[in-house]
Amino acid sequence: MSAGGRRHRYVGPAELLTAVRPGAEGRVVRSAGDLNAWLGGREQAELAEPFTFVVDLDGLLRLAPRRSEHVACAGGADVLGAGEMGFEQAAGLWVVREVSNQSTGYCPHLDSWSAVARALDLAGIDRPPGFTHAVVFRRCETCREINIVREGDFVCVFCGSDLPADWNVAA
């Protein structure tokens, strides 16, 4: 079953994909209770940093410790969204403090926010109105390297070629 939205395939290093172990996917968060239980088992220092997340093809949020690879969190599968997510407690509930699409393994398009928002809404977790830190990814059509576009400068950091205006990472 697919929740709809743009599918993002893994585009990172092959060795990370081959290292994915079945059954080691990120923790599925279907409710605020699931989030509370999972965060309750984290150390204070870990809670101060954002966590790795993906939105799987069923539209469910999966969380893993920050230094986990997104592809491992997703079990090697395609995703609807990926990035980093930080939480804080407000009125006794965990809410999303910060969220980005920062995943160099999936390089999700900015429109992946809709899948992230749906997953959080489905779980009943309060969230910001959009990515608090949005990352723009482009693949260089000359050297084929993936770039993070900074400050609107659509120039490949590897070869100096102009980057396309439209998202093309999966191409």
Tokens of 109: 């398009």
Q: Three-state SS for 121?
A: helix
- Give me 34's structure tokens: 């699931």
- Helix, strand, coil: what percent of the chain each, to 5? 20, 25, 55
Structure tokens at 66: 């920050």
- Residues 93 and 77: their CA atoms lie apart, in Å, by 31
Q: How many CB atoms lie within 10 A of CB 3?
A: 15
Once rounded to an integer, what is the mean pLDDT over residues 34-59? 96
Residue 4: its pLDDT value, please?
A: 73
pTM: 0.95
How much is the average pLDDT of 38-50? 94
- Can you give the pLDDT at residue 5? 85
**Residue 63 · residue 39 · CB < 8 Å:** no
Query: How far is 48 from 72, CA to CA, in rounded Å?
Result: 22
d(CA 7, CA 163): 22
pLDDT in tens, 131-157: 999 999 999 999 999 999 999 999 999
Q: Give pLDDT tens digits for 75-120.
A: 999 999 999 999 999 988 999 999 999 999 999 999 999 999 999 9
Any idea where the domains of the chain sit in the sequence?
Answer: 14-134, 136-171
CA angle (58, 1, 137) in 5-degree steps: 50
Cα gap 112→155, rounded to integer Å: 23
